[in-house]
């Protein structure tokens, strides 16, 4: 599939505002974990396993998990999109 087949996502801040269960933690003194999905945001967040692991990681006081997805336009060559 080419990038023209993918719908554009709203800006990152709009995605986070619309989410339920997104974790907002201070990063200072925490163990950062990059949680990477090989899919675009809508596909990755539809995965219940990804939602569960993200939630479990962020329940720990000493961990802060950051989610990454393939770039917004679906191109495999672009930089990954981070939401946190």
For the chain, which residues make up each domain, given as ranges? 3-82
pLDDT (tens digit per residue) in 28-84: 889 999 988 888 888 888 899 998 999 999 899 999 998 898 876 666 677 887 877
pLDDT greater at residue 13 or residue 45: 45
Dihedral in degrees, nearest 10, Cα atoms 21, 15, 78, 4: 130
Query: Which residues are paired to 34 by β-bridges?
Result: 66
pTM for the structure as a whole: 0.67
Residue 35 near residue 66, CB atoms below 8 Å:
yes
pLDDT at 79: 80
């Amino acid at each position: 599939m080419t990038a023209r087949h993918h719908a554009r996502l709203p800006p990152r801040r709009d995605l986070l505002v619309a989410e339920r269960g997104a974790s907002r933690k201070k990063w200072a003194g925490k163990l950062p974990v990059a949680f990477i999905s090989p899919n675009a945001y809508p596909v990755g967040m539809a995965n219940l396993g990804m939602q569960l692991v993200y939630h479990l990681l962020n329940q720990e006081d000493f961990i802060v998990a950051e989610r990454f997805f393939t770039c917004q336009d679906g191109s495999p060559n672009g930089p990954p999109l981070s939401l946190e």
